[in-house]
Amino acid sequence: MTVISDTQTRPQIERLRLEPVRRTLTVAKKFNVTPNMIRIVLSGDELSGFQSPGADDNIKMIVPDEIGKSVMRSYTPRAYNAEAQELVIDFAVHEAGPATRWALDVEPGDKAVIAGPRGSKRVMGKIDRWLMIADETALPALARRLEDGKSGEQFDCLITVPSESDQQDIESASDVRIDWLHRDETNAAPCDATPLLFALERMDIMPGTYVWIAAEGGVVRTLRNYLMGSRGVDKHWIKATGYWVNGKADTSAKFEE
């Protein structure tokens, strides 16, 4: 068992509140980044004042459901260019709920309504290296964090995607190692923790490692319990979020930080 941390030096989460603003924008561009990831670029004057300081911030996409009622789903501001007034959102394609359906159906020129972010969280403290674990829904946040990474920062990443063709090139000034897990090679479902758990079991987790996990809620629970129970990682060194919950629409899962 590796004891990762001591409570005196444990990281703190700094919370920043932002004024939640609803904005009506226009779909400027739409294309596939990879076979199962649609990138939508939103533009419009109403982006003026938009802020997203943290890589794992989220906005709400406000989209119609099957009977035309507005519903909200969480998405990561993948990139924001204030000068060009462009906001980029990446949609992982799955058995479509309303947000995925919307992303599949919209065309450039269509309207898009967003709200938020309502806030942002930053992990502060002496962190020697990061272990980031994600599925494709959290790949936008993970990629953004790597792109924000500074020279000298170290990241080990475990990322599960549907297939090899869903891997992405991510630029970073940091020292980054990524282990891509292709679910089609093991026939694993996106809500199956086994491939990530096997990969984690093979990894050294050094003291001073901060663990960020975002994926399906049950997967996140399994990995978090394993890290705390079998690897001695203190819960204050883990930021874990279920970005979706298998079988439940519009559901995320929170774990104590």
Ligand X SMILES: Cc1cc2nc3c(=O)[nH]c(=O)nc-3n(C[C@H](O)[C@H](O)[C@H](O)COP(=O)(O)OP(=O)(O)OC[C@H]3O[C@@H](n4cnc5c(N)ncnc54)[C@H](O)[C@@H]3O)c2cc1C
Which CB atom, from 156 or from 166, has the smaller least distance to ligand X? 166
The DSSP secondary-structure symbol of 176 reads E
Q: How far is the CB of 123 from ligand X (least distance, A)?
A: 15
Tell me if 46 sits within 8 A of 24, measured CB to CB: yes
SS3 of 184, please? helix
Binding mask of the shown chain, residues 43 to 82, with x at each position contacting ligand X by CB under 6 A: ---------------x--------------xxxx------
Q: Which H helix or E strand runs over 216? A: strand 209-216
Tell the burial category of 171 from Cβ atoms under 10 Å away from its Cβ (0-12, 13-18, 19+): exposed
Which CB atom, from 51 or from 246, has the smaller least distance to ligand X? 246
Which CB atom, from 22 or from 248, has the smaller least distance to ligand X? 248
Distance CA 165, CA 183 (A): 11
Q: Is 111 in the site for ligand X (CB under 6 A)?
A: no
> Restricting to residues 161-190, which ones interact with ligand X according to CB under 6 A?
190
Which CB atom, from 43 or from 58, has the smaller least distance to ligand X? 58
Q: Is 217 in the site for ligand X (CB under 6 A)?
A: no
Beta-bridge mates of residue 13 = 123
Which CB atom, from 50 or from 75, has the smaller least distance to ligand X? 75
Residue 222's CB: how many other CB atoms inside 10 A? 17
Q: How far is the CB of 87 from ligand X (least distance, A)?
A: 12
Residue showing the smallest CB distance to ligand X in the complex: 97
Q: Out of 22, 29, 111, 248, which residue is the one contacting ligand X (CB under 6 A)?
A: 248
Residue 169's CB: how many other CB atoms inside 10 A? 6
Residue type present at position 4: I
Chain positions contacting ligand X, by CB under 6 A: 58, 73-76, 90-92, 94-100, 137, 140, 190, 243-250, 252
